[in-house]
Amino acid sequence: MNTKIETVNIDVIGMTCASCAMNVEKVLRKSDGVNSANVSIANNQARIDYDPVITNLNTLRSSVAEIGYELLIEIIEQEQKDRLNNLELLKLRRKLIVAVAFSLPLAVLSMYFHHHNFTTAFIMFLLSLPVIFFSGSHFFSRAAKQVIKAVFTMDALVSLGVGSAFLYSLVILFFPEVLGADGSCYDVYFEAAAIIITLVLLGKNLEERTKRKANDSVKSLMKLQSKKAILSVNDLEVEIDIDKLKKDDIVIVKHGEKIPIDGIIISGSASVDESMINGESVPIDKIIGDEVIGGSVNLNGYLKMRVQKTGTETMLAKIIKVVENAQNSKPEIQKLADKISSVFVPAIILLAGLVFSYWYFMGNDFQQGIISMATVLVVACPCALGLATPTAIIAGIGRASELGVLIKDAGSQEALSMIDTVIFDKTGSLTVGKPEVSEEIWFQGEIIEIPLNPALKKVEIIGANMLNGGLEVISYDQSELSIPSNESINLKEILYSLESLSSHPLAKAVTNHYEKLELNKIEPESFESFAGFGILGRFFGKDYYVGSENFIRSIGVQFSLSDEIKKKGVALAVFADSEKVLALICLRDKIKESSICAVQFLLNRGIEVILSSGDNEQVVEQTAKSLGINKYYFRQTPIDKAELIKSLQDNGKRVAMLGDGVNDAPALVSANVGIAMANGSDLALESAEIAILNGDLSKFIDSYRLSLKIKSIIRQNLFWAFFYNLIMIPIAAGLFIGSGITLNPMIAAGAMAISSISVVSNSLRLKFFKKY
């Protein structure tokens, strides 16, 4: 039996380093029923794909709890989640305050009494107890659970480093003869053990604060979600919870209020601020029939709207889900870092053991062995390595969403940074996408005689049933149809009726043109659409076609265009019956201002730009020349575009395809990176890896530049993480002690904290990325 795989994003409590995330991920992936799992230390979340028939979230929570972590599986509001996270941060802060309060006097005693007597050493022992067993208790408890499961994380490194210094000091204090000491001087390291925990806690506090700033973008989106709405019931206004709204409910939105949910305006008009949704700073004028998006703001006016989508189906909910999924995904470079992190902690523990063995057996110095071992354990930092990539991904993808660009996964932004070829669709991508009829050319009269069949009593019409999404056959009396009583019909009405059934941009332009003429709309006897080519409708027993030149020729109607028509450089909708062309409808589409800048930017960077369109040669050529594009393809079907991309890829090209997300779906899927000009379309969010929400091509340039910046930040972070460990670990091991270069455990703990904070802070620079 096929079951539906469920995907959830769940907060993970208790993770402190990349190794923690790796081990939680490993436990989840090994669990029965889990298809895949990605755990991010940067936002403390797990993305899990699982089969609910085989397992459940309670079972997964129990598995993770066995190694010391907790999955927050309860469905709670963001505010409650924030309170829980704040509570965790508050616990961490309290532990830090206690650690600082007792570590400061320890440090003073250590500085002023270099050679400790028993009394001083005993006081230091007492001062260290609250730090070790309260402030640092979670390190030891988690490490104990993890060792049982053969799992090793930063908790193990800190526990071993602190524990070795503390136990050594304990033996020196109470049983000095065991280590050959005479009891006259007590060289204890209670202050080192306490200060290590204090500095690690300080680093974690600062790191958590910085990570939260990197995650602000998702929280900002969530704050856009309304909690209440004003429902119109029998002309009365009733305030209800947003989750109680149903499709087709009538909602009132007043001046200055937030639009609570997705819908269509049925009364009123207003300027609407959609900047937080699509990054467009200029308010958009909305009138009756226009769609509005939940989370946008009614700047003026009084609106009545009909609810179209609720819950997880709203645009804002989908945007939040896309951003969260992207932030929890991993690019290839992160997978390499994870592999290194997975063996890093065991390798450091082994190295620390070798360092101790060297100093004890070869150097005959037990004390130096203990200190060097503890220093190696504390200074080694898997955190910086684990945070290097995810913090940059989270900050970068969050910033992209603020700019009106949705990046669906981390691999997409990585692929975008590597492109060398960009293919543009024309209509709706390079052009405004709202062509207008510029001229009509009719080859015979617009009115033709239709002899009615008096024997015809019923007419069967195949039409779409909007309730169940299927087709149904409906019978009408001939008298019920809009057939002129004088036995003649207006061909424009047939053209208008036929084009009104198509979703193609050119068809919409023709429909809008004829709506102004107040023509009658006639129901066809049958209707068929040929994606990327044209449409067919049957009216009064006769077939009529509208589509491209090639489509009309493919049905056997032969014709040629005069040079005069070709030179117009316009898009053509050819209207014909089964025998001849009846009319040519000429349409023009304005090039976007942002297209000129975007194409020029790409050409200046040495990226090849190609125009691939289904339009005729003259229109495509004129558009290409206007934008400075040398390579263009015309009369391209969706399959042609996909094959063009494949041929480029076969020649080693890395291709980005930018289209409207509907007709270009095969090409978007075939490209290394598919980029959809969403314009609020749900389908665009599903058909491409990247969606530009307001159709502005400067946003595409922003996303490309941002992908390069993310890549640069990740490389800087990884370099620092590797460089830090490469330099610090040999010094901690005592390799340069002969040159006077040493490192004690306290300085090692500070250095480890600084390394993590520096990586997160560097990633945070992406939040200040400037628009193009």
How confident is the model at residue 183, as a pLDDT? 57
Please tell me the pTM assigned to this model: 0.66
Query: In the structure, what pLDDT confidence band is assigned to residue 92 with cuts at 50, 70 and 90?
Result: confident
What's the mean pLDDT in 626-646? 88
Cα–Cα distance for residue pair 229/225, rounded to 1 Å? 11
What's the mean pLDDT in 295-309? 89
How confident is the model at residue 115, as a pLDDT? 60
How confident is the model at residue 648, as a pLDDT? 94
Task: Calculate the CA 145 to chain-centre distance.
Answer: 34
Amino acid at the residue 463: G
pLDDT at 459 over 60: no
Rg (Cα) of the chain, in Å, rounded? 34
134: left (phi over 0), alpha (psi -120 to 50) or beta: alpha
**Mean pLDDT of the chain, nearest integer:** 81
**Structure-token pair, residue 191:** 């202050």
How confident is the model at residue 479, as a pLDDT? 43
Beta bridge partners of 528: 536
Amino acid at the residue 420: D
Cα–Cα distance for residue pair 330/337, rounded to 1 Å? 10
How confident is the model at residue 220, as a pLDDT? 67
pLDDT at 470 over 50: no
Share of the chain above pLDDT 70, in %: 83
Query: In the structure, what pLDDT confidence band is assigned to residue 180 with cuts at 50, 70 and 90?
Result: low
How confident is the model at residue 566, as a pLDDT? 75
* Contacts (Cβ under 8 Å, ≥6 apart) of 470: 464
pLDDT at 17 over 60: yes
With residues binned 3-state (H G I as helix, E B as strand, rest as coil), the percentages for the chain, rounded to 5, are 50, 20, 30
How confident is the model at residue 633, as a pLDDT? 93
Amino acid at the residue 271: S
Cα–Cα distance for residue pair 606/600, rounded to 1 Å? 10
> Which of 110-124, 125-139, 499-513, 517-531 has the largest mean confidence?
125-139
**Structure-token pair, residue 335:** 């997978």
Query: In the structure, what pLDDT confidence band is assigned to residue 157 with cuts at 50, 70 and 90?
Result: confident
Q: Supply φ then ψ for residue 36, to 5 degrees.
A: -155, 160
**Structure-token pair, residue 244:** 């109680």
Could you give the residue ranges of the DSSP H alpha helices within 113-230? 118-130, 137-148, 154-174, 190-214, 216-223
What's the mean pLDDT in 600-607? 94
How confident is the model at residue 284, as a pLDDT? 79
Q: Catalytic amino acids?
A: 425
- Cβ atoms of residues 482 and 522 within 8 Å: yes
Beta bridge partners of 308: none
Query: In the structure, what pLDDT confidence band is assigned to residue 669 with cuts at 50, 70 and 90?
Result: confident
How confident is the model at residue 453, as a pLDDT? 44
> Which of 54-68, 264-278, 450-464, 554-568 has the largest mean confidence?
54-68
Closest CA to 633 of 614, 648, 652, 649: 614
* b (16+ CB within 10 A) / e for 712-739: ebbebbbebbeebbeebbebbbbeeeee
How confident is the model at residue 739, as a pLDDT? 82
How confident is the model at residue 335, as a pLDDT? 67
